Chain A
Amino acid sequence: MADGTSIPIGAIAPGKTAGRRGTMRKFAQRRSTIGFLLCLPLILLIAGFVIYPAFYAIYLSMLNKKMTAFVGLGNFAFLLQRHTFQLVIFQSCLFAITAVVLKAFIGFILAHLMHNIPGKNQRIWRGLLLVPWVIPLALSTLTWWWMFDPSYSAFNWVLNQFGLANVPWLGVGWIARFCTITVNVWFGTPFFMIMYLAALKSVPEQLYEAASIDGAGTMQKLFFVTLPMMRNIIAITVLFSLIVTFADFDIVRILTAGGPQDMTHVFATYAFQVGIQSGDIPLGASVSLFMFPILAFAAFFVLRGVTQRTKEIAT
Chain B
Amino acid sequence: MAEVSCRKVVKEYDAGVQAVKGIDLDIADHEFVVLVGPSGCGKSTTLRMIAGLEEITTGEIWIDGDVVNDVPPRDRDIAMVFQNYALYPHMSVFDNMAFGLKLRKFPKDEIKRRVDEAARILDIVPLLDRKPRALSGGQRQRVAMGRAIVRNPKVFLFDEPLSNLDAKLRVQMRTEIKKVHQTVRTTTVYVTHDQIEAMTLADRVVVMNHGVIEQVGTPNDLYHHPATRFVAGFIGSPAMNFLPCRVQDGVNGGVAIRLTDSITVPVPPARAERYGKFKGKEMVLGLRPEHLFEYHEQGKPNWTRIDLPVDVVEPMGMETMVHFFVDGAPVCARVDPATHAAPGEMLPLTADLNQMHLMEADTGKVV
Contacts and interface: CB of A to CB of B under 8 A. Distances in A.
A214 B132 contact: no
A213 B80 contact: yes
Contacts of A313: 89-90, 131, 133
A211 B87 CA distance: 10
B82 to A, nearest CB: 5
Interface in B40-91: 51-53, 72-74, 78-80, 82, 84, 86-90
Contacts of A206: 82, 84, 86
Given A312-B133, A315-B132, A225 B84 contact: no
Interface residues of A, number: 23
B168 interface: no
Contacts of B73: 209, 212-213
Interface stretch (B22-30, B96-104, B291-299): B96-104
Interface stretch (A93-101, A135-143, A216-224, A288-296): A216-224
A213 B148 CA distance: 10
Nearest to A214: B100
B99 A224 contact: yes
A286 B103 CA distance: 54
Contacts of A204: 84, 86
A225 B90 CA distance: 9
A212 B99 contact: no
Contact of A312 (B99, B103, B131): B131
A210 interface: yes
Interface in A189-243: 204, 206-207, 209-217, 220, 224-225, 228-229, 231
B154 interface: no
A314 interface: yes
A207 B96 CA distance: 11
Given A225-B88, A229-B90, A209 B82 contact: yes
A302 to B, nearest CB: 17
Contacts of B151: 214
Contacts of B132: 315
Contacts of B87: 210
A220 B88 CA distance: 13
Contact of A207 (B74, B88, B100, B103): B88
B147 interface: yes
B133 A214 contact: no
Given A225-B88, A312-B131, A210 B103 contact: no
Given A206-B86, A312-B133, A215 B103 contact: yes
A315 B74 contact: no
Contacts of B80: 209-210, 213
Contacts of B52: 212-213
A215 B79 CA distance: 10
A290 B308 CA distance: 91
Contact of B99 (A214, A217, A309): A214
A22 to B, nearest CB: 45
The winner among B52, B73, B78, B131 for most chain A CB atoms within 10 A is B73
B133 A314 contact: yes
The winner among A212, A213, A315 for most chain B CB atoms within 10 A is A213
Contacts of A224: 88, 99
B53 A209 contact: yes
A204 B89 CA distance: 11
Interface string A293-315: 00000000000000001001111
A213 B131 CA distance: 21
A212 B82 contact: no
14 contacts: A204-B86, A206-B82, A206-B86, A210-B147, A211-B88, A212-B53, A213-B80, A216-B103, A217-B74, A220-B103, A225-B88, A231-B90, A313-B131, A315-B89
Interface of B: 51-53, 72-74, 78-80, 82, 84, 86-90, 99-100, 103-104, 131-133, 147, 151
- Across the A-B interface, the 5 shortest Cβ-Cβ residue pairs: A214-B100, A313-B89, A206-B86, A210-B86, A215-B103
Given A204-B86, A209-B86, 7 more contacts: A209-B73, A209-B82, A213-B74, A214-B74, A214-B147, A214-B151, A229-B90
